[in-house]
Chains A and B, each alone.
Chain A
Amino acid sequence: MSGRVLVGVKRVIDYAVKIRVKPDKTGVVTDGVKHSMNPFCEIAVEEAVRLREKKLMKEVIAVSCGPQQCQETIRTALAMGADRGIHVEVSGKDYENLGPLQVSKIMAALAKKEEASLVIVGKQAIDGDCNQTGQMTAALLDWPQGTFASEVSVDGDGLKVEREIDGGLESVRIKMPAVVTTDLRLNEPRYATLPNIMKAKKKKIASVKPADLGVELTSRLEILAVEDPPQRQSGVKVEHLVEDCPVASPSTLGIEVGGVLCCRGGTCLSSQYTVITAGLD
């Protein structure tokens, strides 16, 4: 076991930015827009660094695929504690078509090349929301996977992973080398403060081309259109006295708006309407 952890980090539009669709519907406006590391990737980096701090792993390598600006994202990962970075150069049309399949081929090639024991990635990116890269990487490597991890611990020559699933938690034990995808509750990522960023400037970022890894980037998907979601209906202020409400009886305290029973006791369940209920204690 080499004790090397490969962490994938993605540069995405900052979570707090209001997204605007391009007028030609080919995509989203990215020029001049604030970008940062995908929040789930931050959790992945934090987990990898914690494993190394506990001396369960020896080295953390941060990987990002994309244009020159991805180096900023790798620098953030280095500031959080990663030991070195690898920037896989992908730009232009290739970058526009870069999806989970291509990234997972790259991650698999790098995991073999660096002889990693563990690959940690975020469960999904807040721009693509694919939730596929980790799983595909594991499949390409024929490694076990612990996805939606809310807790990871080393158990002998394997890992014990608590997975967040519908209806609760699932515990799995997987042998290493393995792939883990991080869920929100796994940890609280540290902030990359200025002193850490300064220290990280000494760490190396290697540049690699997909061709060097033997990866072909052609995509089988074509984006047809990108559109805004349908407009939310504007709110309607409804004033009711329980006695006046056509549907509610004092026992149900329900209020019907537009033929749908949508609120109880003054709180609109569908959050579409503002309900003022006078006369209800």
Chain B
Amino acid sequence: MANPLRSEVVRLYKNLLYLGREYPKGADYFKDRLKMAFLKNKGVTDPEKIKELIGRGEYVIKELEALYYLRKYRAMKQRYYEEGKKE
């Protein structure tokens, strides 16, 4: 892997791993799939390709944050607000 990009990839992995602790299907489930996804692209050397993959990883981070927020919001709304109450 290109040297400056290596630290970025490692940082991405750590961030995703941290986010995965709260994954609804379990932290282990998430960790397994995260590892597989990163290992699958182990051999990529083209810096452009690597940047594209990092971008995809950052997109997943945003998706996870949205997922966690929505889950929490919906749970709170269901518990504290009457069905059919005006949005």
Contact = CB atoms under 8 A, between A and B. Distances in A.
A16 interface: yes
Interface string A187-204: 011010111010000000
A40 B79 CA distance: 13
A193 B61 contact: yes
A269 to B, nearest CB: 10
Interface in A222-242: none
B73 to A, nearest CB: 7
B59 interface: no
Contacts of A184: 73, 76-77, 80-81
A66 interface: no
B69 A16 contact: no
Contacts, number: 36
A39 B74 CA distance: 12
B15 interface: yes
A15 interface: yes
B69 A191 contact: yes
Nearest to A189: B69
B14 interface: yes
Interface residues of B, number: 20
A35 to B, nearest CB: 13
Given A39-B76, A184-B77, A184-B81, A194 B71 contact: no
Interface centre among A39, A40, A168 (most CB of B within 10 A): A39
Interface string B40-81: 000000000000000000000100010011011101110111
A11 B24 CA distance: 21
Nearest to B18: A194
A15 B76 contact: yes
B48 to A, nearest CB: 24
Contacts of A194: 14-15, 18-19
Interface string A161-194: 0000000100000000000000010001101011
B75 A16 contact: yes
B15 A16 contact: no
A193 B77 contact: no
A40 B61 CA distance: 23
Contact of B15 (A15, A126, A193): A193
Given A39-B72, A193-B61, 7 more contacts: A184-B80, A189-B69, A191-B65, A191-B68, A194-B18, A195-B11, A197-B18
What 7 A-B pairs are tightest by C-beta distance, nearest first? A194-B18, A191-B65, A194-B15, A39-B76, A184-B76, A15-B75, A39-B72
Interface of B: 11, 14-15, 18-19, 24, 61, 65, 68-69, 71-73, 75-77, 79-81, 86
Interface of A: 15-16, 39-40, 126, 168, 184, 188-189, 191, 193-195, 197
